[in-house]
Structure formats: structure tokens, C-alpha cells
Amino acid sequence: MSAEQGQRQIRCLVAKVGLDGHDRGAHVIARALRDAGFEVIYSGLHRSPDEVVQAAVQEDVDVLGISILSGAHNTLVPKIMDGLAEYDALDDTMVIVGGIIPDDDKAFLREEGVAEIFGPGASMDEMIDYIRANAPERR
Amino acid sequence: MTEEGSGSAPESGDDLDPLIADLLDGKHRALARTITKIENRSPGYRDLVSQLHAHTGDADVIGITGSPGAGKSTLVDKLAKTYRDAGLTVGVIAIDPASPFTGGAVLGDRIRMASNVGDMDVFFRSMSARGTLGGLSTATTDAVKALDAFGKDKIIIETVGAGQNEVDIVRTADTVAVLVPPGSGDDVQMLKAGILEIADLFVVNKADLDGADRTVTELREMLQLRDGEVRVGGGHHGFEETTVDVGGERRDATTEEGGGSAVDPWDPPIVETVANSGEGVEDFVAALDDHRSYLVESGRLETKARMRYAEEIRTLLREDARGILAEEIEARGGLDEDVEAVLRRESDPYTVAEAILEPLADCVADRRE
């Protein structure tokens, strides 16, 4: 039956957390993801970890992309991961981080459960291909 | 949590799907996942929705529509906040257009939900108008059911008011509010094109801007015009009352008048708001409540539900029948040969359609006895 075939579409949340007003990058990425055929939810600026968790849980996104340029990633990202776990959303939400992350911190973030980190110079295609290949398989 | 739903046997009778059990249990994640399955038309989603149905019927569904930039999202935010302050739980479905080329979409309504951040009892869900399959209105109806079964008191559907698709969506609501920004005759033109009929109330948002008064006047004139068409010769319209006065007095006036046209004695009120500052939101809520009690008292609520379910069944049947036809065409090896014959003028589209449909129709007729 045609109605049972289903039409899966990758959903992404592009989130800006904390006191960081630089959203040009997030805008560019949101557009690129849209043009790649994804459904993109943009959080807006200055979101708290709780708000990001709320959005990720309710929207049931496959991918949560956190953009942080403030340097507070070691504090904010674990809070988000904990929140996702609280709502049973950690296992099937792929979290990726974009921004300026020192090499030393990258290992820590990966330990926290971040799937991939994209720094300055990462290309859009690289990111889109990564999401297509790794978006969590559901059901 | 990850394997939920996958192991459920669709024909397991009364057994609740674990996902639905979790949803009824109040788990946000289960609600979110159910809506995802509905949106994706995942295998088995129909059984999920069937199981939901028994638990629905308690929520009050409000549709909000209007041209882009009319202030829908901001007003929805304030509305949700007002309901939350009154101790009610709220579900919001915000629908944004999707690109017809890539299917991609940026769903931005969430940004405006500033008054309700961190409040999990406002369940906000963005949907893109992605679907051609089965139609967006079906998915919206089903998503509303999920929110209803979850136990939300108020469910708000927000959509851009352009096109038949959106009109269909807001039809699934009990009460439809149409937002009109001031100062543009074009919007009033848009209303003429059909949205006028579906509005249970009008909101002139951004009422602090120049031209708001004029928009209100224009709207009222148009409503009067419509009124005149229905009740020819009746010169006693109750429209001289102020726009925000949507209380009992006004309804009394309309009920008296209602003797003339027994069909729908509801006159859409016009409310002025400034969603940014929250001004007029109380009046808006009062108008919504007013319409709600009108629906309940007049029995329209049940009539509407009856019509809606009939329409829902018809839509599903159309969808399924289309599926059966697609299978049949597939089984015949596609339409290529028939098309070729039509092209050579050896046959024509009507004959071909009849030939394909005939065995199916015979089958159905046989079974009917």
C-alpha cells in the first residue's frame, strides 16, 4: 500500500548555546543543510542547554548541531548530553559540534558522546556527507 | 528506548504498542517519536494512530492562520503562555513550507516561542509541508490526535494561510482564527478569496501600527457584506459594537438575530492585538473561549466532529484506493502500452481507465452482496 511506504527525512536542529552572538556560521550551515534536502530547525541565539534539550526532544531530530564560538563548550555540551539522557534521547540523537575547539578539548567532548567536531575550514559537503552517512537509523 | 515500536505486531489486537503505552504514560520522547512516525508514514503508523483514537476527544483544537509576517508565531507564543498561566497544558504544531525542489526546509517558528522556553508542558513541534503522499492535512490530523491522547488541554495549529492545503489543515481545528496585519489592502483581498468563510474570529495583529483602524473597518464592512448576502433585507446587524467586546452581550444579540439564518448564527468577532507586548491577548483568549462555549451549547461541536470524521474516513479511503490502483497498474506492467495506444488514437484515456477499473469494480460489486 502506497501510504505504508514511508518517506523518511533527516531532521536537524542547529543550536546556538550560551553567550555567543556569532550566528553567521549557524545561518550558513542551516541554509546548506536545507539545500541538501534536510529539515532544519534553527534555535535562535543565546539558548540555554535546557532549551536546546527541550527542542531536540520535542522535535525528535536525528542530528543536533551545536555551534559554540565562546569557548564554553566543556561546560555547555555535557549539560546538553545529560539533558538528552534524562529524556531517553541520547541514544538516537547524533550530536555534532561546530566551532573553535582546541585539540585538547576534542577528546573530552568525544568522550561525552559528541559524534564529530567540525572546526574552521570544514567544508559544507564534508559535513552533509557525514550526516547522510551517520544519521542514526531509527526503528 | 531505541527498539521501541519495531517489534510490535500490527495484528496483536488489543495489545497496546509500547510506544503508545509510553505516550499515554506521559513520556515526551514517546510523543515526539509517535509524531515522527506519523510524519514519515513509517510502516505501522496506522496502527499507532488507531490505538490513539480511543484516548482522544478532550482537547480544544485552535487553528491560527494568516499571511507571512502577520505575527502568528509571536501570538501563538503569548497564547500558549496565557494558557499555561491558567494551569492548562498546551501542544503546538507549527507548519512551514518546504522547498519543492529539494524537500528541505528551515523551520523557524520555534525562535518566537520565547515565553515558554524550558517549559516541557508546552510541546512545540515544527512540521514541514513536505508531503505530497497522502496530504499534509492527514498528517496534521494524526499529530493532533497524538497530542490529544497525550493529554494536552489546548492544541494550537499554526500555518501560513496561503493555498488550499492550509485551508484544509485549519479545517481540522474547532476554532479558526485568521490574523490580518494592518495597513495592506492586499490582505483583505486575500480574505475575499476564501479565508473569510473559514474564520471563526479575526485578529488584527500589530494593532499599534498605522492603518489598524482602517483594516478593522474594512474587515467589518466585508463581514457585513457577507451578512447581507445571507439575510437579505435585514438591516439590524449587531456590528456597531466595539471590536474587542466579544462577551456575552454580543452573543445574545447574535442569537436573537440567528432566527433568520439557522445555519450558523455565529458572527466572527474582530479582536485587536499587539502580540509583541501581549496587549489584547486576554481579549483574544476570551474570544476563543466564547467561540468554544458557542460550539458546545449550540451542538456545533458534535456536528463538526461528525463531519470531520466522515471527511477523514473519505480521505483515508481515497488514499488506500489510490494504493490499490497503483498496485493494479503495476501488476499490468505499467501504463506504457496504453499510453502508446492513446497516442496512436487507437484508444482514449477514458476507455483505458474504464478497462483498468472494471475488474476492480466487478470485484467490489460481487462482494457487496
Distances in whole angstroms, Cα of residue A109 to Cα of each of A93, A94, B177? 15, 13, 46
Predicted local confidence at residue B107, as pLDDT:
84
CATH 3.40.50.300 maps onto chain B at: 57-298
Which CATH number goes with the domain that contains A66?
Answer: 3.40.50.280
pLDDT for B81 equals: 93
Cα torsion B117, B119, B120, B123: sign: negative
Which pLDDT value is given to residue B228? 59
Residue range B128-168, pLDDT digits in tens:
876 544 456 788 889 999 999 999 999 999 987 655 666 67
* Cα nearest neighbour of B33 on chain A: A60
Distances (CA, A) of A125 to A118, B13, B130: 12, 47, 23
pLDDT in the model for residue B75: 92
| Minimal Cβ distance to A57: which of B32, B46, B126 | B32
Q: Do B133 and A3 touch (CB under 8 A)?
A: yes
Element (H, E) at A12: strand A11-16
Q: How many other C-beta atoms lie within 10 A of the C-beta of residue B359?
A: 10
Tell me the count of A-B CB pairs closer than 8 A: 128
One-letter amino acid identity for B366?
D
Residue B246 C-alpha, separation from nearest chain A C-alpha, in angstroms: 35
Render each residue's pLDDT in chain B as its tens digit; 369 residues. 333 344 444 444 457 889 999 999 999 999 999 999 998 888 888 999 999 999 998 999 999 988 777 888 899 999 999 999 999 999 999 988 777 777 788 887 888 777 777 788 899 999 887 654 445 678 888 999 999 999 999 999 998 765 566 667 777 889 999 888 887 655 556 555 566 778 899 998 888 888 788 888 888 887 777 665 544 443 444 444 334 444 444 444 334 443 344 456 788 899 999 888 888 999 999 999 999 999 999 998 999 889 889 988 998 898 888 888 999 899 888 899 999 999 999 999 999 999 989 988 898 889 887
* Burial of A45 from C-beta contacts in 10 A (0-12 / 13-18 / 19+): middle
Asked if B1 lies within 8 A of A88 by C-beta distance, the reply is yes
The answer to whether residue A22 sits within a structural domain is no
Q: What is the pLDDT of residue A137?
A: 74
Q: What is the per-residue pLDDT across B46-80, written as a single tens digit (0 to 9) for each?
A: 999 999 999 998 999 999 988 777 888 899 999 99
A35, A43, A59 ranked by CB distance to B125: nearest: A59
Instruction: With respect to residue A5, please indicate whether it lies within any of the assigned structural domains.
Output: no
Q: CB-CB: which of B2, B6, B105 is closest to A40?
A: B105
Q: Do A54 and B108 touch (CB under 8 A)?
A: no
Low-confidence ranges of chain A (pLDDT < 50): 1-5, 139
Does residue A21 sit within a domain? Answer: no
Nearest CA in chain A to B101: A37
The structural domain count of chain A equals 1
- Within 13 Å and on the Cβ side, how many CA atoms surround B28? 25
Q: What is the DSSP letter of B225?
A: H
Greatest Cα pair distance, chain A, in angstroms, is 53
Element (H, E) at A41: strand A39-42
Q: Which residue has the cell 549557524?
A: A26
Q: Do B43 and A6 count as a contact with CB atoms less than 8 A apart?
A: yes
Distance from CA of A103 to the nearest CA of B (A): 32
- Domain assignment present for residue A28? The answer is no
Q: Which residues of B fall within a CB distance of 8 Å from A62?
A: none
Of A7, A33, A59, Cβ closest to residue B126: A59
Contacts of B319 in chain A (CB under 8 A): 2-3
Class of the CATH domain delimited by B57-298: alpha beta
Answer whether residue A84 is part of any domain.
yes
Any domain includes A79: yes
Q: Does B50 touch chain A (CB under 8 A)?
A: no
Decide: B177 and B64 in contact? Cβ < 8 Å: yes
Q: Could B43 and A4 be called an inter-chain contact, meaning their C-beta atoms sit closer than 8 Å?
A: yes
Domain that holds residue A92: 47-133
What's the rounded Cα separation, in Å, for the pair A66 and A74? 12
CB contact under 8 A, A139 and B5: yes
Confidence (pLDDT) at B292: 94
Which of chain A's residues have a Cβ under 8 Å away from the Cβ of B107?
39-42
